[in-house]
A and B are shown apart, each in its own frame.
Chain A
């Protein structure tokens, strides 16, 4: 579970940071490529204009003197040395036309001879020719998009304000695409590098965040299992929020471990106290009859021949020894019941009714028996019977001569509920704490073991026992037992 949390968060962090870096890098890259494209386009336009203009400036003399060879040579020389051109600059064609559109010089003289209009291989060429002839100031004509596209710089040739002709110079846009391609590759490379860096950074950051979290999760689970002493301290990195959290967790874990060990010490001493109390109780309970029994035996030793004494003391001896036997049996009740594994239908509880009736023994006590458990519900007969019987006996004894005792049992979900209530005098607050202590009793002849046995049995079945009592209004015991435990 920790590893999935660890991976989940670290992957999410890393992915988020990578995505953000990639997004930013791509956006910036796209902007740069667009700006580059525009700049290159402007540069190419300027170059075409400059070239056309330079040729136009030198042309008039040759045109006026019909020196076509000179004109052609300057056109050729200029075209071979495009101002600001690079090795990628590619001049597609160039021409000088007179005012009638007749070729005075053309870079492709074979197909466009001197003295006739240039050849138009397409509709676009015809349109461009018409547009170019209208040009009176240096102008750029654009062929449109595509790798085969071109920019045409057109410049009029003037001499003394008289129009002599026009220069048309056509530069390929290939250079533009090559440059854009190059810068795109560079941007993509940079972006990928940034993305890689971003993901490394993301991984590092997420590890830094999730590692203490994973350690804390592990620690929390150890707390959940109650293994306070097993919690490894989380390494505290920086004094940021995570560091503070980690040190707080470490502090908490340490305090919990200390508390746990303190509780264990208390539990040990409480056990010792309880053991002492039980030992004292046993000693006291056994000692009381023992003193009488020793007396009887002494007297019988002194007068072995007196049958009257034997007749008088034997029942006393019997009674005293029985009392000791009962005490010992009660103390061993758990052992006894453990030995007897007896599952039976819940209707077997009804056997108790007679025992309770005989306990009431004709006194003015109303006894209500209300068993709602289905016969299919299986119970551990001996244990449950013992719990119910002890609680009922307790209630009946509390009522003295008059009152009502109600027993009710039913199933609530996965639990079996046993309820015993009476309208007796209730339990005084000062006694409530010791209610389930062994040998604690308010009755003259009580052993003080009844409720202690109930407590031990309920505990052994992982149940809960609750007591509600109001002085003068009665008491209700409610035992909730898990159905699973009840049946075994």
Chain B
């Protein structure tokens, strides 16, 4: 709405007619927020993808990159983003009033699921999270499931003080950089998205090969794509159709291959159940009660 009004003002100044409104609508860019979920460095790829989406949508699509989930969520809330690719953790958080709606969940290796990996430098002696006590640890984003919530949950389960278990912690706000921090031994350990780690194994093997996974989480719902509730349904419907149809045309498949994804599909809200439970446990400070965030639960989801 904000964009529209600005445009109206401008066209009045230029003496444009009221019929231009329909054309103008299609010229207003759709703003799509991205975070640490995708590899941010590949600018040309994102530009091409945005161009593809624009063509398919008949309306310009703009990727808006922000460092943290918090910023993206704030922008969704304020209406300056129409769509966003966020993480399961922000998705499950309670919002009053709710301002986002699930659009699609990527299908990765045949399912809309992924893991959190705890990684350490390849040549380090660490074999488990316990070995990392008193060491430095890299989180990706304070609102990332795989990069923050899961390791926090693990620590909470151990009953240790989450704040003092590691000597020093920091956020990289990007899974790829977490891998980099561990690979360079700036951090003794880190928590990353399994999808990104595997993606790097293929596209930046020299980096990923310097790290080693010591802990694999149960499966979680893959970071979803969401729409802002204020966006008109027709646009949301069109976006859903374009995204979901990507695996059906060669150009779309090219981008899916670039992202190492099978497709963008639709999944029930229930795949985020264990994330929601972990978040709740952490919030209430009663992690020992969190036996529900178990492999059993995850396996149930995977079987879908």
Q: Write the residues of chain A forming the contact surface with B, with a CB cutoff of 8 angstroms.
A: 66-69, 72-73, 105, 109-110, 113-116
Contacts and interface: CB of A to CB of B under 8 A. Distances in A.
Contacts of B119: none
Nearest to B136: A114
Interface in B175-219: 177, 181, 184-188
Given A110-B185, A113-B136, A114-B186, A69 B168 contact: no
A69 B67 CA distance: 13
A388 B149 CA distance: 150
A70 to B, nearest CB: 8
Contacts, number: 36
Contacts of B188: 113
Contacts of A68: 168, 170, 186
A235 to B, nearest CB: 81
Contacts of B186: 68-69, 72, 105, 109, 114
Given A113-B135, A113-B136, 6 more contacts: A69-B181, A72-B186, A113-B185, A113-B188, A115-B167, A115-B168
A67 B138 CA distance: 11
Contacts of B135: 113
Contact of B170 (A67, A110, A113, A116): A67
Contacts of A66: 170
A468 B172 CA distance: 131
A69 B136 contact: no
Given A113-B136, A115-B136, A115-B167, A69 B172 contact: yes
B70 to A, nearest CB: 13
Contacts of B181: 69, 72
B171 to A, nearest CB: 7
B185 A69 contact: no
A67 B181 CA distance: 12
Nearest to A106: B186
A69 B177 contact: yes
Contacts of A72: 181, 186
Nearest to B185: A110
Nearest to A109: B186
A109 B187 CA distance: 8
B27 to A, nearest CB: 37
A110 B188 CA distance: 9
A68 B168 CA distance: 9
Nearest to B134: A115
8 tightest A-B contacts by CB? A115-B168, A109-B186, A68-B170, A110-B185, A69-B172, A114-B136, A115-B167, A114-B168
Nearest to A66: B170
A116 B188 CA distance: 13
A47 B154 CA distance: 47
Interface string B136-156: 101000000000000000000
Contacts of A69: 138, 170-172, 177, 181, 186-187
Nearest to B166: A115
A109 B184 contact: yes
| Residue among B135, B177, B185, B186 facing the most chain A CB atoms (10 A cut-off) | B186
Contacts of A113: 135-136, 185, 188
Contacts of B138: 69
Interface string B106-118: 0000000000000
8 contacts: A68-B170, A69-B170, A69-B186, A72-B181, A110-B185, A113-B135, A114-B186, A114-B187
Contact of B185 (A73, A105, A109, A115): A109
Contacts of A110: 185
Nearest to A102: B168
B120 to A, nearest CB: 13
Contacts of B184: 109
Contacts of A73: 177
Contacts of B171: 67, 69
A114 to B, nearest CB: 5
A56 to B, nearest CB: 20
B24 to A, nearest CB: 40
A115 B177 CA distance: 20
Contacts of B170: 66-69, 114
A105 B187 CA distance: 11
A116 B136 CA distance: 10
B121 to A, nearest CB: 8
Nearest to B173: A69
B188 to A, nearest CB: 7
